[in-house]
Amino acid sequence: MSNNLNILIIGDVLGKAGRRALRSHLPDLLDEHHIDFCVANGENLASGFGTTLKLADELFRVGVNVITNGNHCWDQRNFLKEIDEDDRLIRPANFSKYAPGHGWTIQATRNGFKVAVINLIGQAFMGTWDCPFEAADRVLEEIPDDVDAILVDLHAEATSEKMGMGWYLDGRVSMVYGTHTHVPTCDETIHSGGTAFQSDIGMTGSYNSVIGMKKEGALRRMVQRLPQRLEAVERGATVCATKIIVDTDTKQAQYIERICVRPRE
């Protein structure tokens, strides 16, 4: 059995546009890049605001293995119940002890590899959460040694906090990556300890927008500073993703590549 594991990471998938783009491009991407395991952030699946089991299922059906979450986790109130119905759905591990769901999961690939995915949320400009660094330590103690790769989605605003986590976990996990800002960063790298890192994967959604939402409404809020409902752009999404190759003997990353598929429509 090969000891290389090809993993595709997708950031925040925004609404109908993001879901539609994954439906049309993900099966080909998985094939073309020989992907064994795929993870996506689902906090914006429901028109930008939260996740439902049904929408998560759309992603599972086209090849996503695990869905992480973020600050929009409970925007769809039913998700408080739904999250416990499928162990491929996780939420940040440093939510309060009262939160339903789990902060990490281990799922198997078709060829029998085990991949652990940990979800964390940042503290800088993000609200009040438990310490993500302490949560990472706690979860890593619980994860059995026989997993073949460990991925960490740090859902956070500040690049500094995300870079800090990248170094904090260097040598202990296969990749630390950021989600939440909806803009991809070109700082993908592999640290000296073998941990791949990227500050933000970027959204899979329409970039003819303000972070996925219609620009007219977003601008009204910014310019007039009056209440305005934000609406997700429904077409024309770009798929932003990052591929890594992990050596399962060491769990270290050997390769990292950003992937971008622009809309045809």
Active site (catalytic) residues: 72
**Mutual orientation of helices 53-61 and 15-32 as an angle, nearest 10°?**
30
Q: Which is nearer to Fe ion, 162 or 251 (CB)?
A: 162
Q: Which two tokens stand for residue 4?
A: 């290389």
Residues that bind Fe ion (CB under 5 A): 12, 43-44, 70-71, 180
Q: Which is nearer to Fe ion, 70 or 184 (CB)?
A: 70
Smallest distance, Å, CB 179 to Fe ion?
7
What one-character DSSP code corresponds to residue 83?
G
- Residue in the structure block whose two tokens are 């330590």: 137
Give the whole-angstrom CA distance, residue 197 versus residue 213. 27
- Residue in the structure block whose two tokens are 């993703």: 241
Smallest distance, Å, CB 240 to Fe ion?
12
Q: Which two tokens stand for residue 218?
A: 């977003």
Q: Which is nearer to Fe ion, 43 or 153 (CB)?
A: 43
Smallest distance, Å, CB 236 to Fe ion?
18
Q: Which is nearer to Fe ion, 147 or 201 (CB)?
A: 201
Give the whole-angstrom CA distance, residue 225 versus residue 140. 44
- Please list, in sequence order, all residues whose beta carbon lies within 8 angstroms of the beta carbon of residue 77, skipping any fewer than 6 positions away: none
Give the whole-angstrom CA distance, residue 81 versus residue 210. 31
Q: Is the dihedral of CA 11, 12, 15, 17 positive or negative?
A: negative
What phi and psi values does residue 32 have, to the nearest 5 degrees? -60, -40
Q: Which is nearer to Fe ion, 196 or 201 (CB)?
A: 201
